[in-house]
């Protein structure tokens, strides 16, 4: 379903696109800037792996940095096949190769995602503040509306929604208590919460902050440096890049492979507001997304191979 959804949106976005422009854009792009962009893309994965190792330390686990990084490579590649399955694959890999309980690993990942969401919100506030007129124009032209916004805008509607969620939670709680797996669920939940709260026990909190900022700096630089790969986008400002970056980061929430479709739609729409022609914006979105997706796939294959080789070496040592 995610692949079908992404393909449908891409078809709608590129229905009248001349794909010869894509190949022309590839031939004309600046490979030096592209190479530097790729380096930042790889470093974002590496730092994320290092940060994960750091969050596991307070729980008493010391997995190898290489395994953590390789699991990140594999996770992002897995998301190309089925969005959001990557987080599960990271936990499975760590449990299999480093004997870290799945629930503990998952708890740290949820905490990680919560902080990443906070980073996106902070970057969004900065980008919108710097580019408020462009943001308002884009929202107006897109005709964006919040589903259920009319009901939630009234006190009565908010109370109804809140009571409904509480009722569902209570019913679910009593239903689960009747099941034989309740004790297993409680045990899993305890480990999950322990992983979620691992940040409170962290000794090197400053390093965690530095790595978190580093991850998002690398994300932004990977995207921003692509502007210099093409003549039509090289003149766009850092503030413009920030707004585009935020729009793309929010668009990938839609469950399609690597945000394919929604990401293109948002990037093209905002670039046009900055004076880039629709065709050039389509070329930029298609080339940048395609090359970044290819990088994710290649790193995923590398991660799988590296994990297998490491496991084979470990088995040889045990057998000898």
**C-alpha span between 74 and 302 (Å, rounded):** 8
Give the ranges where the chain is alpha helix by DSSP (H): 2-13, 20-28, 31-56, 65-81, 86-98, 102-130, 132-142, 149-152, 155-177, 182-196, 205-224, 238-251, 262-273, 278-319
What's the pLDDT at 153? Answer: 46
What's the pLDDT at 143? Answer: 54
What's the pLDDT at 36? Answer: 97
Asked if 56 and 104 touch (Cβ cutoff 8 Å), the reply is: yes
Q: How many CB atoms lie within 10 A of CB 97?
A: 20
What's the pLDDT at 152? Answer: 44
Domain ranges in the chain? Answer: 2-11+21-319
Chain centroid, CA 220 distance in Å: 12
**C-alpha span between 239 and 236 (Å, rounded):** 8
If phi > 0 it is left, if psi is from -120 to 50 it is alpha, else beta; for residue 29 that is beta
Q: How many CB atoms lie within 10 A of CB 7?
A: 14
Residue 194 phi, psi (nearest 5): -65, -40
SS3 readout for 136-201: HHHHHHHCCCCCCHHHHCCHHHHHHHHHHHHHHHHHHHHHHHCCCCHHHHHHHHHHHHHHHCHHHH
**C-alpha span between 79 and 8 (Å, rounded):** 18
Asked if 77 and 296 touch (Cβ cutoff 8 Å), the reply is: yes
What's the pLDDT at 135? Answer: 75
What's the pLDDT at 94? Answer: 92
What's the pLDDT at 175? Answer: 56
Asked if 84 and 113 touch (Cβ cutoff 8 Å), the reply is: no
| Torsion of the alpha carbons at 291, 296, 302 and 304, rounded to the nearest 10 | -150
**C-alpha span between 263 and 134 (Å, rounded):** 18
Asked if 50 and 68 touch (Cβ cutoff 8 Å), the reply is: yes
Give mean pLDDT in consecutive 10-residue pieces for the chain, a chain of 320 residues.
78 86 90 96 96 87 93 93 84 91 83 83 87 76 49 49 58 56 51 55 76 94 95 92 91 80 90 92 94 95 94 79
What's the pLDDT at 138? Answer: 72
How many residues belong to the chain? Answer: 320
């Amino acid at each position: 379903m995610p692949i079908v959804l992404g393909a449908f949106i891409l078809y709608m976005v590129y229905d009248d696109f001349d794909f010869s422009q894509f190949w022309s854009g590839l031939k004309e792009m600046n490979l030096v800037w592209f190479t530097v962009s790729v380096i930042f893309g790889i470093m974002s994965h590496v730092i994320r792996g290092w940060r994960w190792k750091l969050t596991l330390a307070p729980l008493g686990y010391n997995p190898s940095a290489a395994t953590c990084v390789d699991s990140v490579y594999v996770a992002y590649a897995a998301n190309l096949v089925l969005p959001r399955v990557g987080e599960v694959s990271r936990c499975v890999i760590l449990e299999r190769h480093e004997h870290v309980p799945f629930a503990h690993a998952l708890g740290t990942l949820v905490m990680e995602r919560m902080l990443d969401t906070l980073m996106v919100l902070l970057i969004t506030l900065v980008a919108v503040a710097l580019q408020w007129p462009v943001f308002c124009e884009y929202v107006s032209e897109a005709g964006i509306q919040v589903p259920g916004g009319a009901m939630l805008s009234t006190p009565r509607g908010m109370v109804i929604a809140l009571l409904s969620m509480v009722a569902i939670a209570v019913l679910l709680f009593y239903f689960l208590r009747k099941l034989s797996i309740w004790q297993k669920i409680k045990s899993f939940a305890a480990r999950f919460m322990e992983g979620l709260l691992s940040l409170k026990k962290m000794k090197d909190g400053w390093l965690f902050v530095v790595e978190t900022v580093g991850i998002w700096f690398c994300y932004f630089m990977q995207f921003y440096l692509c502007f210099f790969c093409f003549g039509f986008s090289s003149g766009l400002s850092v503030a413009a890049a920030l707004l585009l970056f935020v729009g793309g980061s929010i668009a990938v929430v839609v469950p399609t492979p690597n945000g394919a479709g929604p990401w293109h739609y948002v990037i093209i729409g905002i670039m046009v507001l900055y004076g880039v022609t629709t065709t050039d914006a389509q070329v930029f979105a298609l080339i940048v997304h395609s090359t970044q997706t290819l990088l994710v796939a290649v790193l995923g294959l590398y991660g799988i191979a590296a994990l297998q080789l490491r496991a084979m070496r470990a088995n040889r040592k045990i057998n000898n």
